[in-house]
C-alpha cells in the first residue's frame, strides 16, 4: 500500500511538472472563484466552488471535491506574468483543510518560460501533503523565479477521493535565508565516480 502511494505521488509530481495546464470546461464559470480556473488530469471527476460555510478567515474558502470513483487529480489554479517576480525568491502559502482525502491534497507552484518550458516547479506531495481528515494546516512552497521566467502558475490540488478547502492564500517575496523547497534532485557541483569504483546505488 505504501509503495503504491509513493508511485502515485511520484506520478502526480511528474504530470504536474510536465502538464500544459490549460483551463478545463469541467466546471461552470459561475461556480469558480474569480480569477481561478480548473485544470488537472481528470477535472471532470471533481467539483469546484466557493464555500461560505467553511472558511478559516474572511467570509469564504475555495474547495475541490471528488465525485464518486474519482481518479487522477484536479486543481484550481491561476496563471500570471512573471515580470514583477523575476530574480526573486517567492513563497506560495495557504491554509488547507481536508475531509476523507484518500490520497493527498496540497499546493503547487510552477514557473515557465515563453515557450512553456518548465523552469522551476515544486508541490507538497511529500511530508508537506495533507490527507485523511485534518483541520486547517499551513502549507508552503518556495522557489526562485528565473530571469527567463514568462509565466507563473499557482494552485491547490486534490488527488483521488475526498474534499479539500483552501483559504488565506499568499504569494510573497522572501529573503535568501528562506530555503527553496523544490523536490527535484539537485545537480552535483562536479562529476563523481568517473572510475566506476565508487560502488553502486
Report the C-alpha gap between 136 and 128 in whole angstroms.
13
pLDDT at 2: 52
Report the C-alpha gap between 158 and 163 in whole angstroms.
7
Helices (H), the chain: 2-18
Cell 530571469, located at residue: 147
Cell of 75: 486543481
pLDDT at 128: 87
Report the C-alpha gap between 65 and 161 in whole angstroms.
8
Report the C-alpha gap between 10 and 13 in whole angstroms.
5
**pLDDT beneath 50, residues of the chain:** 1, 28-29, 184
First and final CA of the chain: distance in angstroms? 24
Q: Which of 54, 44, 40, 55 is nearest to 158 (CA)?
A: 40
Cell of 101: 482525502
Q: Which of 36, 100, 122 is nearest to 74 (CA)?
A: 36
pTM comes to 0.81
* Largest Cα–Cα separation, the chain: 63
- pLDDT tens-digit map of 65-123: 999 999 899 999 999 999 999 999 999 999 999 999 999 999 999 999 999 999 999 99
Query: DSSP code of 45?
Result: G
Domains annotated on the chain, with CATH: 2-173 (2.60.120.260)
Amino acid at each position: 500500500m505504501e509503495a503504491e502511494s509513493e508511485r502515485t505521488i511520484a506520478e502526480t509530481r511528474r504530470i504536474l511538472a510536465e502538464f500544459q495546464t490549460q483551463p478545463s470546461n469541467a466546471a461552470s464559470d459561475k461556480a469558480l472563484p474569480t480569477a481561478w480556473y480548473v485544470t488537472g488530469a481528470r477535472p471532470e471527476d471533481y467539483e469546484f466552488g466557493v464555500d461560505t460555510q467553511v472558511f478559516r478567515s474572511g467570509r469564504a474558502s475555495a474547495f475541490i471535491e471528488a465525485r464518486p470513483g474519482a481518479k487522477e487529480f484536479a486543481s484550481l489554479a491561476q496563471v500570471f506574468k512573471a515580470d514583477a517576480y523575476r530574480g526573486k525568491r517567492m513563497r506560495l502559502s495557504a491554509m488547507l483543510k481536508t475531509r476523507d482525502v484518500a490520497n493527498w491534497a496540497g499546493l503547487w507552484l510552477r514557473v515557465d518560460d515563453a515557450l512553456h518550458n518548465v523552469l522551476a516547479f515544486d508541490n507538497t506531495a511529500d511530508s508537506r501533503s495533507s490527507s485523511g481528515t485534518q483541520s486547517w494546516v499551513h502549507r508552503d512552497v518556495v522557489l526562485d523565479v528565473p530571469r527567463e521566467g514568462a509565466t507563473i502558475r499557482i494552485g491547490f490540488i486534490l488527488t483521488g477521493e475526498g474534499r479539500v478547502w483552501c483559504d488565506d492564500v499568499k504569494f510573497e517575496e522572501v529573503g535568501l535565508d528562506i530555503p527553496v523547497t523544490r523536490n527535484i534532485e539537485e545537480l552535483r557541483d562536479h562529476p563523481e565516480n568517473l572510475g566506476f569504483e565508487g560502488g553502486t546505488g
